[in-house]
């Protein structure tokens, strides 16, 4: 934990605001202007290693760099997205990598506590399905690759906050849009209920087991019948396994959840067999089967390079033969 008053580049570190899966968060002020407070996400930079397998610390530091690029290249100026300071938003100092962003107001946790530990279902439904904004992109990634294909199903290290992670992510699956919706629904349920059954688990593994075995009807028993309950209880494995792209609009995300955007089943096995979609996206399948222009050009360049290399080898052999003949 950094001591209050520590200086990192142009920033003076203040109180610790919290911790996440990848970073610690501190309040900071600029050395030249102490009147405005920002939030700094901070990750230690691990020492160089010869191992090809990255540690959690290395992945966390890399995530901050990727998040910085996402803010700078894509998100700045979009309504609801935290702003970056005009200078010095990203940097490294004293063995730490940091990202400075706009400090937001009260958290929903603080609002929930002030309201007696719960929030009205109607309020949470409006927050979760109408005006929710994404503000943390530490583990964000593309779901449509540059080739136009949907990212493949794979497993790896568990990422995300265990309390709100989807059942699939507990099994090591990389987060998908479906998992984001499931996590959002768990947050909504937590705000309405005040707690979740697996919060008292003694370990992440036990919490994952309780979550996988939890009956959605029991979990939503106290709900009066808003859109949150159908989103969780009426979902089916086949409906949620579809990997075809969906509309990015907030309204369509809510509709997607109502139609079965959340999967309720045990964590996937280690066979790494990708889920099969019910509906085949014809355009997507066509893109998968037909090589893109980029791939065609790359293949053409590779063939040209191979031909040039072959010609060079042939010339070298001829030159060697001629030289040997002259020497004889």
Question: How many domains would you assign to the chain?
Answer: 2
CATH of residue 281 = 1.10.510.10
Q: What is the CATH number of the domain that holds 27?
A: 3.30.200.20
Give yes or no: residues 193 and 132 share one domain: yes
* Same domain as 125, residue 87: no
Taking only the tens place, the pLDDT of each residue in 302-317 is: 555 556 656 665 665 5
| Strands 7-8, 11-19: pairing kind | antiparallel
The verdict on 178 and 269 lying in the same domain is yes
140 and 77 inside one domain: no
119 and 205 in a single domain? The answer is yes
Q: What is the pLDDT of residues 113-125, one digit of tens each?
A: 999 999 998 888 7
The structure's pTM equals 0.56
Give 138-153 pLDDT, tens digit per residue: 677 778 888 989 888 8
Copy the structure tokens of residue 94.
Answer: 């004293």
Name the domain boundary from 65, 83, 102. 102
- Whether the predicted pLDDT of 275 surpasses 60: no
**Spatial separation of the C-alpha atoms in residues 275 and 238, rounded to whole Å:** 8
Model pLDDT, residue 7: 96
Same domain, 71 and 29: yes
CB burial of 28-65 (b: ≥16 within 10 Å; e: otherwise) equals bbbeeeeeeebbbbbbebeeeeeeeeeeeebbbbbbbe
Q: In terms of residue numbers, what domain contains 126?
A: 108-285
Examine residue 318 and state whether it is found in any structural domain, yes or no.
no
Examine the domain organization and report whether 79 and 115 are in the same domain.
no
Confidence of residue 257 (pLDDT cuts 50, 70, 90): very low
**Same structural domain for residues 233 and 262?**
yes
On the question of pLDDT at 244 being above 50, the answer is no
131 and 80 co-located in one domain: no
Is 308 among the domain residues?
no
Same domain, 32 and 117: no
DSSP output for 126-162: HHHHTS------TT---SB-TTSPBPPP-B-S--S-T
């Amino acid at each position: 934990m950094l001591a209050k008053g520590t200086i990192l580049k142009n920033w003076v570190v203040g109180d610790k605001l919290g911790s996440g899966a990848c970073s610690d968060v501190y309040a900071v002020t600029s050395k030249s202007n102490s009147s405005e407070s920002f939030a700094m996400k901070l990750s230690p930079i691990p020492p160089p290693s010869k191992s090809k397998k990255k540690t959690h610390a290395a992945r966390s530091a890399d995530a901050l760099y990727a998040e910085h690029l996402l803010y700078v290249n894509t998100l700045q100026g979009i309504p609801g997205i935290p702003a970056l300071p005009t200078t010095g938003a990203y940097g490294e100092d004293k063995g730490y990598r940091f990202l400075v962003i706009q400090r937001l107001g009260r958290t929903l946790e603080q609002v929930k506590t002030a309201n007696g530990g719960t929030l009205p279902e109607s309020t949470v439904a409006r927050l979760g399905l109408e005006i929710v904004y994404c503000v943390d992109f530490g583990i964000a990634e593309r779901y449509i690759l540059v080739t136009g294909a949907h990212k493949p199903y794979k497993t790896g290290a568990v990422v995300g906050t265990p309390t709100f992670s989807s059942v699939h992510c507990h099994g090591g699956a990389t987060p998908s849009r479906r998992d984001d919706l499931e996590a959002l629904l768990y947050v909504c349920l937590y705000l309405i209920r005040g707690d979740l059954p697996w919060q008292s688990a003694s370990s992440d593994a036990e919490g994952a087991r309780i979550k996988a075995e939890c009956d959605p009807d029991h979990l939503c028993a106290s709900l009066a019948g808003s859109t949150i309950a159908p989103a969780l209880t009426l979902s089916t494995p086949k409906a949620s396994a579809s990997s075809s792209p969906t509309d990015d609009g907030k309204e369509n995300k809510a509709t997607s959840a109502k139609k079965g955007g959340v999967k309720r089943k045990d964590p996937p096995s280690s066979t790494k067999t990708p889920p099969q979609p019910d509906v085949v996206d014809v355009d997507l399948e066509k893109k998968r089967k037909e090589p893109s222009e980029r791939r065609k050009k790359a293949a053409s360049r590779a063939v040209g390079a191979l031909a040039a290399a072959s010609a060079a080898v042939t010339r070298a052999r001829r030159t060697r033969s001629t030289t040997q003949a002259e020497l004889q």
